Amino acid sequence: MKTHDFYYELPPELIAQTPISQRDQSRLMVCHRDGGRVEHRTFRDIVEYIRPGDALVLNETRVIPARLTGRREDTGGAIEFLLLRRLSGLRWEVLAGPARRAAPGRRFLFGGGLEATVAERLPEGRRIVDFTCDGVFEEVLDRVGAMPLPPYIHEKLADRERYQTVYARESGSAAAPTAGLHFTPDLLDTISRRGALLEKVTLHVGLGTFRPVKTETVEEHMMHAEYCRLDADTARRLNAARERGGRIVCVGTTSVRTLESAADADGRLAAFDGMTDIFIYPGYRFRAADALVTNFHLPESTLLMMVSALAGRERILDVYREAVERRYRFFSFGDAMLIL
């Protein structure tokens, strides 16, 4: 399968640069796999599609100010670290830029008493580094770090919380699970009152989710592992919901990856706590996810490949072309799609 098979034309002006003023007033494209019908709604209308007995699965990861800009201690050369994953204590896996400056043994200063020493070189510009700081690491990071907005967003984010879901609890992500940005507390309360379950999982978004596919064929691409967790009680409730005829509606591709990593061949979920490098592309048989709330994804990305696996590649490319024609807003701060 060729990577270029997942390419589509996108006018740059359709890439959303800022979030809209009200989270649940984004546009919503509803794609029915049975029959191929497409509807154009407002995101708040999603309550009409979530049935009593369904389980809405939310990734409660919280984005940390993971982008650090500093200088090399001896020469003053500029460096940027993107925190990818905490390994233990103050030891982190980071993405360094420019990577050539981050040789093992070199020290870097980031201000606020935060310093780092490179411990090990990893492929693709990644490094293992040991931090030291004056005070509590998380508090120092909050002062000197910046929110790691994707490179296609050029506008300054006025409010950090707009790059967090309203249910974000578990700190650790280098990017937001953006499908969840459309929900408000009131909207979630309405869905719950109508009889759907609201269930939480955790996947800390790292390099695996947004690393571009640079291989000629899809099958050659290697996913970077990310940490995810599904607890036993949540797995039990999700299994029970399905047995009663409810659907598992995943909010975002990260929720899909968590559940599919935790499901057996028959789709039964069990507790999972660890790393996943699952790569979902056309030909994959979904075991746990029945429906998906998602944003519009980059051409040739693993996320576009996942939604193509769920709804069909040609079908997805057709509805993406329709989204372009109707001037939907794309990517992280853009509009949403519900695949049923």
Could you state, in order of their start, the residue ranges of all structural domains in the chain? 3-63+159-339, 67-144
Model pLDDT, residue 210: 63
Model pLDDT, residue 211: 75
Structure-token match 């020493």, residue found: 117
Decide which of 3.90.550.10, 2.40.50.430, 3.30.70.60, 3.40.1780.10 is the CATH code for 3-63+159-339: 3.40.1780.10
Q: Could you give the strand order of the β-sheet that contains 226-230, starting from the edge strand earlier in sequence?
A: 38-42, 27-31, 336-339, 291-295, 248-251, 55-59, 197-203, 226-230, 272-276
Distant-in-sequence, close-in-space partners of 233: CB < 8 Å, separation ≥ 6: none
pLDDT in tens, 116-131: 999 999 998 999 999 9
Alpha carbon distance 205, 227 (integer Å):
8
Alpha carbon distance 309, 326 (integer Å):
24
Model pLDDT, residue 263: 98
Check: CB of residue 233 under 8 Å from CB of residue 222: no
pLDDT in tens, 307-319: 999 999 999 999 9
Model pLDDT, residue 76: 95
Q: How much is the mean pLDDT over the chain?
A: 96
Domains 3-63+159-339 and 67-144 share a fold: no
Check: CB of residue 336 under 8 Å from CB of residue 249: no
Mean pLDDT per block of 10 residues along the chain (340 residues) reads 97 97 98 95 98 98 96 96 94 95 97 96 95 95 94 91 97 95 98 98 84 92 94 98 98 98 98 96 98 98 97 98 98 98
pLDDT in tens, 59-102: 999 999 999 999 999 999 999 999 999 999 999 999 999 999 99
Q: Domain 67-144, what fold?
A: Thrombin, subunit H (2.40.10)
Model pLDDT, residue 209: 66
Model pLDDT, residue 208: 66
Model pLDDT, residue 113: 94
pLDDT in tens, 178-196: 999 999 999 999 999 999 9
